[in-house]
Structure 1
């Protein structure tokens, strides 16, 4: 039996993009990936991220916003930063973790001037779908 690839998705607040990535990885690639998410800060789980993931059939409502230090296992094969701030402030990881940066737009920032929730959700859906595509290309895209 092959060992699963252990991946940490890291974002600023572990509220949206990293939560979506963890949710997609667990849904689409659970046979080959062991996915975690965390932030360099804690912002709480974004309810609109929960909503758009639920629309796609992925339940992340039980996820919690957490800091890297709160994770029990830190021997990751890959640490993937999903935003520039996390990339710039990423903590050092012991072991052989390969660092990858793949930035996605910040849905709350994109939706900041939306007229209503439905307009805001369009931005969340766009980023959700981009992250799904990114996850679907794993593990081959990780350059093993």
Structure 2
């Protein structure tokens, strides 16, 4: 089974959502995990907006990059510039994609305005993940 690693800064939102969608759509073909260059804890708003589309990520944890898993992956996806710049050297022969996504955890405004940003990023991530079907 091919392995995918989704990486972002704190493994609290974007990479968690990507892992959730990959688990939903490709669990029969890909093993997927997510991690960060730091641990910020799972963002409850990410859990909430994913639940709205039928994806439960409430059991996920915020993890640091596991170098053993990293080195076994066929695909590494960075979801922000910070992760791209700080992740370990991509192993030769490993495919790397970069999705430069807005960090929804930095959204400001009312709760509904913040959730709107989370939903927009969630929907963008879903589109990207669905394209991995051809990976």
Give the TM-score of the pair, scaled to structure 2.
Answer: 0.92
Q: Which of 114, 121, 134 is matched with 1:127 structurally?
A: 121
Q: Distance in 2 between matches of 1:96 and 1:25?
A: 22
Alignment of 1:35-54 (within 5 A): 35-54=32-51
2:90–2:96 CA contact under 8 A, matched in 1: no
Structure 2 CA distance for partners of 1:72 and 1:63, relative to 1, 3 Å: farther
What do residues 20-64 of structure 1 show as CA deviations (whole Å, max 9, x unaligned)?
A: 000000001112221110000110000100000011110000100
SS in 2 for 1:137: helix
1:73 aligns with 2:73: no
The Cα of 1:73 is off from its aligned counterpart by 2.9
Q: What is the RMSD of the two structures over their aligned residues, measured on CA atoms?
A: 1.5
Q: Distance in 2 between matches of 1:79 and 1:139?
A: 15
Structure 2, unpaired ranges of 5+: none
The Cα of 1:117 is off from its aligned counterpart by 1.3
Q: Distance in 2 between matches of 1:98 and 1:118?
A: 37
1:136 aligns with 2:130: yes
* Residue matched to 1:12: 9
Aligned residues: 134
SS in 2 for 1:64: coil
Structure 1, unpaired ranges of 5+: none
1:11–1:40 CA contact under 8 A, matched in 2: yes
